[in-house]
């Protein structure tokens, strides 16, 4: 059970979409696939949902081989593609009934599974799916993907284009579903969502950079990070970029994360340098690495 991916490679013409991807997901785990657009997340999802065939490597989903037992996989997984893929001209209820029917079940049979989510959109059940807001569309899509009580749920960027409140609600729902024993693979470009997963894999340009729990993954960050602020953030960035000893400079909202090339880094020296560049109210503090920092560092 769970999910096993071994050395999966896939290329389209001359582009390598996936290279030697390997990871295992334990049954009941909420596993996150974190990476920017074009990292190969969707290709990996399509291989695991039997929509594409990998060039090399093997994978099993809920114990079924993606190539040989593709029919069994199609019976036992729920898939929510990145693009909203329901019938826009059908109402909420009709969409749900349709998906229940083609999976050979009824809404009533698995209602307990979708109840928490469905009650939120039920007041609009006679509204056509095309007229729903982004958050409601995602909730409906999740209901449709869950209606047949899948063993494994694939969610490809479920929160892209959804407002922050709905995003939070959506992740709360995933957490609740996890308690019902469903294994989940979720992809997202948002680093803050990564922290909500049991384990995450950082992926870029088709390669897995690191796999670990969100808490330990930041330990892979090799250098001390300093949080730099001043009266002019833009000027801070340009000045730090010109500083000969910088290792990395990344803006984080109002702050700038800075790492130094040298082992013996002196805060005072950097402070003076920034002052010379005409900056005021300078603060430089050591800070903890975030998942984003780790990703940026690993992706360098």
Partner 1 sequence: MKRFIGFVKKEFYHIFRDKRSLFILFGMPIAQILLFGFAITNEINNVDIAILDHSKDATTKEIINKISASHYFSINQIIEKESDIEPIFKKGKVKAVLSFEKDFSKKLITQNHSNIQVITDATDPNTANTISNYVNAILQIYLKEQNKNHTSAYQIIAQTRMVYNPELKSVYMFVPGVMTMILMLVSAMMTSISITREKELGTMEILLVSPIKPFQVVIGKVFPYIFLSIINAITIILLSLFIFKMPIQGSLFLLGLESVLFIITSLALGILISTISATQQTAMMISLMGLMLPVILLSGFIFPITSMPVPMQIISNIIPAKWFIIIIKGIMLKGVGLQFIWKETLILLIMTTFFIGLSIKKYKIRLE
Give the residues lining the site for partner 1 (CB under 8 A): 46, 49-53, 70-71, 73-75, 77, 79, 81, 83-90, 94, 97-99, 101-104, 144
Picking from 204, 154, 157, 164, the residue whose alpha carbon sits closest to that of residue 36 is 204
CA 263 to chain centre: 34
Type and span of the H or E element at 189: none
Question: Cβ of residue 75: shortest distance to partner 1, in angstroms?
Answer: 5
Q: Which is nearer to partner 1, 95 or 259 (CB)?
A: 95
Q: Which is nearer to partner 1, 89 or 163 (CB)?
A: 89
Q: Which is nearer to partner 1, 87 or 273 (CB)?
A: 87
Place of tokens 């009266």: 231
Picking from 225, 273, 264, the residue whose alpha carbon sits closest to that of residue 248 is 225
Q: Which is nearer to partner 1, 83 or 288 (CB)?
A: 83
Question: Cβ of residue 28: shortest distance to partner 1, in angstroms?
Answer: 21
Q: How many other CB atoms sit within 10 Å of the CB of residue 164?
A: 11
- For the chain, where are the alpha helices, taking DSSP H only? 41-48, 70-76, 92-102, 111-121, 134-146, 164-178, 191-194, 214-217, 233-242, 267-276, 291-299
Query: How many angstroms separate the CA atoms of 151 and 179, rounded?
Result: 13
Q: Which is nearer to partner 1, 47 or 200 (CB)?
A: 47
Residue 287 tokens, joined: 């800070």
Question: Cβ of residue 100: shortest distance to partner 1, in angstroms?
Answer: 8
Q: Which is nearer to partner 1, 79 or 221 (CB)?
A: 79
Query: How many angstroms separate the CA atoms of 270 and 229, rounded?
Result: 12
Residue 211 tokens, joined: 């796999």
CB 192 within 8 A of CB 168: no
Question: Cβ of residue 85: shortest distance to partner 1, in angstroms?
Answer: 4
Question: Cβ of residue 90: shortest distance to partner 1, in angstroms?
Answer: 6
CB 237 within 8 A of CB 260: no
Question: Cβ of residue 154: shortest distance to partner 1, in angstroms?
Answer: 8
Q: Which is nearer to partner 1, 52 or 208 (CB)?
A: 52
């Amino acid at each position: 059970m769970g999910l096993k991916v071994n050395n999966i490679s896939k290329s389209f013409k001359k582009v390598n979409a996936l290279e030697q991807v390997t990871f295992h997901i334990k049954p009941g785990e909420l596993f996150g696939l974190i990476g920017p657009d074009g990292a190969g997340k969707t290709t990996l999802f399509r291989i695991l949902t039997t929509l594409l065939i990998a060039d090399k490597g093997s994978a099993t989903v809920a114990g079924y081989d993606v190539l040989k037992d593709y029919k069994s996989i199609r019976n036992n997984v729920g898939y929510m593609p990145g693009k909203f893929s329901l019938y826009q001209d059908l109402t909420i209820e009709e969409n749900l009934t349709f998906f229940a029917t083609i999976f050979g079940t009824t809404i009533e049979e698995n209602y307990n599974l979708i109840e928490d989510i469905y009650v939120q959109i039920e007041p609009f059940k006679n509204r056509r799916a095309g007229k729903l807001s982004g958050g409601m569309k995602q909730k409906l899509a999740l209901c449709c993907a869950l209606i047949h009580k899948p063993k494994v749920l694939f969610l490809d960027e479920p929160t892209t284009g959804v407002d922050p409140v709905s995003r939070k609600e959506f992740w709360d729902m995933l957490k609740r579903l996890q308690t019902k024993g469903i294994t989940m693979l979720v992809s997202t470009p948002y680093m803050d969502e990564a922290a909500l997963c049991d384990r995450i894999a950082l992926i870029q340009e088709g390669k897995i950079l690191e796999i670990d729990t969100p808490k330990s993954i930041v330990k892979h960050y090799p250098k001390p990070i300093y949080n730099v602020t001043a009266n002019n953030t833009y000027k801070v960035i340009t000045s730090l970029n010109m500083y000969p000893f910088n290792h990395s400079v990344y803006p984080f909202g109002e702050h700038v994360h800075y790492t130094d090339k040298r082992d013996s880094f002196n805060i005072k020296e950097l402070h003076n340098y920034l002052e010379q560049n005409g900056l005021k109210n300078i603060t430089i503090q050591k800070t903890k690495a975030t998942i984003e920092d780790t990703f940026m560092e690993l992706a360098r």
